[in-house]
Chain A
């Protein structure tokens, strides 16, 4: 008579570990779903068409929305991308393809330090640099603050994806008589482009929720902000202001604004994963 194989003790450990890892996965999912569900539950009464199309109503009146904050956030992100993406992209290309040992070390080190600067410090920095000389808060100042915050991640993720392009592709280009820059721009970057786009989208998603740098720069606005030189409302700051206000209506709207912001970030995240998956599929046939 043969003993059962594998022995019972190993079967038990197997099942226990599977259950444990599964449980932890569920916990992570549960946290996210709980936050989303809670935001929806608390803010649902405020989520209507007016919430997306109207500016805030005066205290005491019902209705009103955060249209100005949604538009403000989109404008801030557009300006931040216009600043952060080109600098991060070109810096990442330089770092991956051209920088030598010493300069690469310096750039990488300073970039990592910049990434570690607390966001509130970034707010004060831009406040001193832009807001004080202009004598007022503005979309421009907020966009600059978020744009500087985007640089480190855009730069490092671009560098990482470029470095992942195999040396054989670079040599293939050079061996056909392409110059180094021709090889980089016609072979290496196209091979890494889906990864680079994904990194930049996740970078945008990361700064979209930043509040502290905007308090000192974009400030806030109860109305639509014309152009780029006036203070503007933004979703994170609206959430902050409404949440610490004494009014129940504003609390509900803060929950709803949180739900809108988080949903937006989820969409960006999912789309960027799809972009990356599509890139993988293309390059592997």
Chain B
């Protein structure tokens, strides 16, 4: 796959760049290439003609008011929406250079991991939570599992806090720890992409800071796409930000650009708090 430049990120909108940024910055190969994507819940259309490219090994954030379709798009990337009856998708998404819909859903979801809004540890021990995805894969040998569990917990910056209680129930740790456990659980199977759906909305500021720190650490391991309502969070963690409104991608740009000098009036209105 060829590198591509910023101007191709969103094909629906011409992206201009301020003079202090190199306009021809080359990005590594595209992780997702979305073309003319429409999505329906029954007769309600939740996404309208989305065109965008998600660059590999970068953090992309989706922002926008509730019901704007950002979570729907996120859940299309690992085809989680297919588990909801009455949904329909039109258009194309490529994962790397392959059609996203050509994968069996179970294999796709091992390549594209996901962390949900509410921490949802399984009612099992901390160890068994992280080992869950590993044990589903028969090619992973039993004696490798303990090492991989430790590695994942370290990557999620949780190891030091739980190493003495690995075999206690995961429901006994704090909400912030539970969310980092869910990140460790998703990282254990070494996905190419990690999708995060408002991962900090149920957490206090200290837990939030810990999760943002660890996103910096893991972004050289995998591509990160994060949905957030927190503008400051998007500004802190994201390289690129997409602004959604009423199911459309209004603007996609460098995070700095979006927050300092947005192209579209609607983006300006949203980030300055005039609506949403």
Contact = CB atoms under 8 A, between A and B. Distances in A.
B169 A282 contact: yes
Contacts of A191: 122-123
B189 A168 contact: no
A176 B168 CA distance: 21
Contact of A285 (B83, B132, B136, B169): B169
Contacts of B114: 175
Chain A interface size, as a band, is: 20 to 34
Nearest to A186: B132
A178 B123 CA distance: 16
Interface in B124-178: 124, 132-133, 136-137, 168-169, 171-173
Given A175-B78, A175-B113, A178-B136, A168 B120 contact: yes
A179 interface: yes
A174 B113 CA distance: 10
Nearest to B82: A174
A166 interface: yes
A11 interface: no
Given A177-B106, A177-B107, A191-B122, A172 B116 contact: yes
A177 B171 contact: no
A120 interface: no
A178 B120 contact: no
A203 B64 CA distance: 51
A169 B122 CA distance: 6
Given A174-B80, A174-B109, A179-B106, A283 B123 contact: yes
A173 B185 CA distance: 10
**Which of A177, A178, A190, A285 gathers the greatest number of chain B CB atoms within 10 Å?**
A177
Contacts of A112: none
**Which of B106, B108, B189 gathers the greatest number of chain A CB atoms within 10 Å?**
B106
Contacts of A176: 109-110, 113, 132-133, 136, 185-186, 189
B87 to A, nearest CB: 14
Contacts, number: 71
Contacts of B122: 169, 172-173, 187, 191
A178 B189 CA distance: 12
A177 B136 contact: yes
A284 interface: yes
Contacts of A282: 123, 169
Given A177-B109, A178-B106, A186-B132, A171 B185 contact: no
B165 to A, nearest CB: 11
B171 A172 contact: no
A168 B172 contact: no
B256 interface: no
Interface in B64-85: 78, 80, 83
A283 B171 contact: yes
B202 to A, nearest CB: 11
Given A176-B113, A176-B132, A186-B132, A171 B80 contact: yes
A204 to B, nearest CB: 25
Interface string A143-171: 00000000000000000000000101111
Contacts of A182: 136
Contacts of B210: none
A171 B83 contact: yes
B182 interface: yes
Contacts of A171: 80, 83, 116, 120
- Pairs A-B, 9 closest by C-beta atoms: A285-B172, A177-B110, A168-B120, A176-B133, A175-B114, A285-B171, A283-B123, A177-B109, A172-B120
Interface of A: 166, 168-179, 182, 186-187, 190-191, 282-285
13 contacts: A168-B120, A169-B122, A171-B116, A175-B116, A176-B132, A177-B133, A177-B136, A177-B189, A178-B106, A178-B133, A191-B123, A282-B123, A282-B169
